[in-house]
Structure 1
Amino acid sequence: MSSTRTPSRRTASGWVIGHVAGAPVIVAPTWLIAVAVLTVLSVPAARALTGLDGSAVWVVALAFVVLLFASVFLHEVAHGLVARARGQEPHEFVLTLWGGHTAFGGPAPTPATNAIVAIVGPVVNLALAAVFGGLLALDVVPRGTVLWALLWSGAVTNGFVGVFNLLPGLPLDGGRVLEAAVWAATRSRYTGTVAAGWVGRVVAVGVVAWALLGPLNANAESFTDVVWAVVIGAFLWAGASAAIRGARAQRNVDGVTVASVGHAAVTVGHGDSLAHAGAAAAAAGVQDVVVLAPDGRPAAYVDRAAAASVPPHAAGSTAVTAVSVPLPVGATVDGTLVGQALLADLARATRLSPVVVALVDGRVTGLVRATDVIAAIRA
């Protein structure tokens, strides 16, 4: 199986065995589990196709698995090369327990790129299946030989990988094509991802239903086949659900503004009293107050809890700086930014202080707290 992802940095752990198109090729530790399990499962087929036994049949079974993962690797490389040709840089190619995936440094910029990059992988597998099948059809390789068995394995496994990945649901490549189609029709990436994610859930249920009901009707599937189908169905459900959650999180990110995550604030001078600050806030209908330094820089903000603890009769004689939290230089964000750009600026500023000041044309417009930003994204 194959899927595409868009991390901001390397996410996979494992052994780097090379580079393609400037991106590392990573073999995840779980890949070794896949090789071992698939080799065991391939032994009966290798024995039936070649008539071999003993250690020889295990070597052939292992060759089947190596050929399968070579095809998966070509599938992933096709994703990466076509993506790069369309301006979307591949970030890493990873072989895993479930086959592999290609990660990119950013999402596809257009529905067309999303669809083309997705579909090229299965197309490569179907082309390989046609090549292997064509060589079998020529009937120049004697049936029952190891070479004939390898051609048979290449045709069957590539055909299966190609067709299976074209199923129209995330996280499969066919799901990316469906996502692109809905995105193009609705002009909403979010709608496309959610629609393809829900179809992916339907596909996952269908795989499990086929596994559980198919053997009852045809009585032709083994218990191992049923278990594998159920596991694959669970994997598809998890991938589809993750895509839906990711789309919702991205929608929240795209909708982030200072107004949605911050609070309006008024400014007072560093020499003003708490009573003056309270009056200014009440007149503006806000709760937050920013204290300006003599040079006009935001130097502190009033701690609401500390201000509330001051008796009313003492507010006039209490300096506003006595109930304020200092702000380091640079703890400001551009209040005109939105979405990812605003989050990037907030990430920079909140490294200095968990509370930062929003500025528009050099004028204080509000306070933004890191906890409110996190809550808004997770909502």
Structure 2
Amino acid sequence: MSDPRPDRPAGWVLGHVAGAPVVLARSWVLAAVVLTLVFAPSVRKWTGGGGALPYVVALVFVVLLFASVLVHELAHGLVGRSRGQQPHAFVLTLWGGHTTFGGAAASPATSALVAVVGPVANLVLAAAFLLIADRAAPDGTLLQTVLRAGALANGFVGLFNLVPGLPLDGGRILEAVVWAASGDRHRGTVAAGWTGRVVAVGVLLAALVRPWLAGVSPDLGTVAWSALIGAFLWSGASAAVRGGRTGRAVAALTLERVGRPAAVVGARTSLAQVRATAAAADVAEVVVLAPDGRPAAYVDTEAAGRVPADLAGTTDVLAVSTPLPVGAVVDGTLRGDALLQALSTASAHGPVVAALVDGRVAALVRTRDVVAALRG
């Protein structure tokens, strides 16, 4: 699976490809042990042998399987890099693997192409394993059995990843199709996320319904594995739905949505003058300018409201104001992710930021208003 997130989990770095580390997550060890124990009984039936041999062969198969997963992820990364999407890390995990990128794909075509090459790589490997097993390996040998198992595993991984639901690669392809048709990337993400939820439920139902239709009891091991895979898919699909909705909210972020229009006054203004200025401008927020024109403070409306009218003329505006730290300003002409990034940087100085348009204070932006806008 391909993922635009730039984070990288902890693990062992095996090397670097295309400028990105190949990371073996610690959870892989657990997966290797569990899969070896699961496959060992089948190997014992194939070979008819006992002792440590079935476990050694099972471990070889598991390593071969994860090598195929690595090829899948490298295909994502190399094609992504050729399309201007730099891979950040290739990670092998408990659930297989994923490729993280430094940013999202620039177009639906790039997103779909990067997604599809992973499953295609597995299908090519499946064909290669099957060809070698039938043409080069002696009939009935353990080598031929392992190669055919590798072909089956790669074929399954390739085809399953093409199922159209996030977090699978097929979901990324569906996302690109909806994105291309609607012009809205985030609508595609939400649609593919909901489809992924359907797939997650379908995986569990298949383990329960197929035996019932055949008139036999479901295998508890199969049901347990299906439940784990379904839970993983549901989690990824739900994260995609939330991410799509949040992405849509970020794309729609503007000063008009999160800013509160503000008037400006000088530092020597009385509260009575502040009230008159705010009333004339029909705004509730007032910013106090320093002598050099920099926004230095904003009027605390609650504190100002507690001052009686007969004292407002003698009350200095700074007595009811909260300082604005240097740097707590943002360019009010920015939109979408650029505005969010600027607000994130400026809000490090405090929860209230002054927005400037053409060098003049236009509004105040409070962190809680931004959070509310993103939550929709």
Query: TM-score, normalized by length of structure 1?
Result: 0.96
User: Given that residues 299 and 320 in structure 2 are in contact (C-alpha distance below 8 angstroms), is that contact kept between their aligned partners in structure 1?
Assistant: yes
- What are the Cα deviations for residues 20-71 of structure 1, in whole angstroms up to 9, with x where unaligned? 1111111112111111111111112211222221101100011110000000
User: Given that residues 169 and 200 in structure 1 are in contact (C-alpha distance below 8 angstroms), is that contact kept between their aligned partners in structure 2?
Assistant: yes
Shift of 1:175: 0.9
What aligned pairs does 1:178-197 form with structure 2 within 5 A after superposition?
A: 178-197=174-193
**What is the aligned counterpart of 2:314 among 314, 317, 322?**
317
Tell me the amino acid that sits aligned with residue 167 of structure 1. Answer: V
- What are the Cα deviations for residues 98-132 of structure 1, in whole angstroms up to 9, with x where unaligned? 10011111111101001100000000000000011
Shift of 1:221: 6.1
Tell me the amino acid that sits aligned with residue 223 of structure 1. Answer: L
Shift of 1:137: 2.2
**What is the aligned counterpart of 2:4 among 6, 18, 21?**
6
Shift of 1:222: 3.0
**What is the aligned counterpart of 1:92 among 89, 96, 118?**
89
Tell me the amino acid that sits aligned with residue 26 of structure 2. Answer: P
Cα distance in 1 for partners of 2:344, 2:183 equals 29
**What is the aligned counterpart of 2:110 among 103, 106, 113?**
113
Cα distance in 1 for partners of 2:224, 2:353 equals 53
Do residues 199 (structure 1) and 195 (structure 2) align? yes
Q: Name the SS for the 2:313 alignment partner.
A: helix
Q: Name the SS for the 2:85 alignment partner.
A: coil
Do residues 358 (structure 1) and 355 (structure 2) align? yes
User: Given that residues 170 and 200 in structure 1 are in contact (C-alpha distance below 8 angstroms), is that contact kept between their aligned partners in structure 2?
Assistant: yes
User: Which residue is 1:147 aligned to?
Assistant: 143
Which consecutive unaligned segments of at least 5 residues does structure 1 have?
Answer: none
**What is the aligned counterpart of 2:132 among 130, 135, 145?**
135
User: Which residue is 1:243 aligned to?
Assistant: 240
What aligned pairs does 1:8-157 form with structure 2 within 5 A after superposition?
A: 9-138=6-135, 140-157=136-153
User: Which residue is 1:214 aligned to?
Assistant: 210
User: Given that residues 165 and 174 in structure 1 are in contact (C-alpha distance below 8 angstroms), is that contact kept between their aligned partners in structure 2?
Assistant: yes
Shift of 1:144: 3.9
Cα distance in 2 for partners of 1:263, 1:343 equals 16
Cα distance in 1 for partners of 2:354, 2:90 equals 41
Cα distance in 2 for partners of 1:349, 1:217 equals 61
Shift of 1:378: 2.4
User: Which residue is 1:301 aligned to?
Assistant: 298
Tell me the amino acid that sits aligned with residue 212 of structure 1. Answer: L
Cα distance in 1 for partners of 2:7, 2:196 equals 26
Q: Name the SS for the 2:99 alignment partner.
A: strand
- What are the Cα deviations for residues 63-107 of structure 1, in whole angstroms up to 9, with x where unaligned? 110000000000000000000000001111111111001111111
Cα distance in 2 for partners of 1:152, 1:285 equals 76
Do residues 172 (structure 1) and 168 (structure 2) align? yes
Shift of 1:217: 2.5
What aligned pairs does 1:259-298 form with structure 2 within 5 A after superposition?
A: 259-298=256-295
Q: Name the SS for the 2:14 alignment partner.
A: strand
Cα distance in 2 for partners of 1:97, 1:119 equals 22
Do residues 370 (structure 1) and 372 (structure 2) align? no
Cα distance in 1 for partners of 2:343, 2:175 equals 31
Q: Name the SS for the 2:39 alignment partner.
A: helix
Cα distance in 2 for partners of 1:322, 1:149 equals 83
Tell me the amino acid that sits aligned with residue 194 of structure 1. Answer: V
User: Given that residues 266 and 289 in structure 1 are in contact (C-alpha distance below 8 angstroms), is that contact kept between their aligned partners in structure 2?
Assistant: yes
Query: TM-score, normalized by length of structure 2?
Result: 0.97
Tell me the amino acid that sits aligned with residue 198 of structure 2. Answer: V
Cα distance in 2 for partners of 1:15, 1:373 equals 38
Q: Aligned-pair RMSD on alpha carbons?
A: 1.4
- What are the Cα deviations for residues 184-242 of structure 1, in whole angstroms up to 9, with x where unaligned? 11111122111111111111121111101112223486321121112111211111111
User: Given that residues 357 and 367 in structure 1 are in contact (C-alpha distance below 8 angstroms), is that contact kept between their aligned partners in structure 2?
Assistant: yes
Cα distance in 1 for partners of 2:110, 2:226 equals 31
Task: State, as a whole percentage, how many aligned pairs show the same letter.
Answer: 59
Q: Following superposition, which runs of at least 4 residues in structure 1 exceed 6 angstroms of deviation?
A: none
User: Given that residues 49 and 144 in structure 1 are in contact (C-alpha distance below 8 angstroms), is that contact kept between their aligned partners in structure 2?
Assistant: no
User: Given that residues 169 and 203 in structure 1 are in contact (C-alpha distance below 8 angstroms), is that contact kept between their aligned partners in structure 2?
Assistant: yes
User: Given that residues 134 and 144 in structure 2 are in contact (C-alpha distance below 8 angstroms), is that contact kept between their aligned partners in structure 1?
Assistant: no
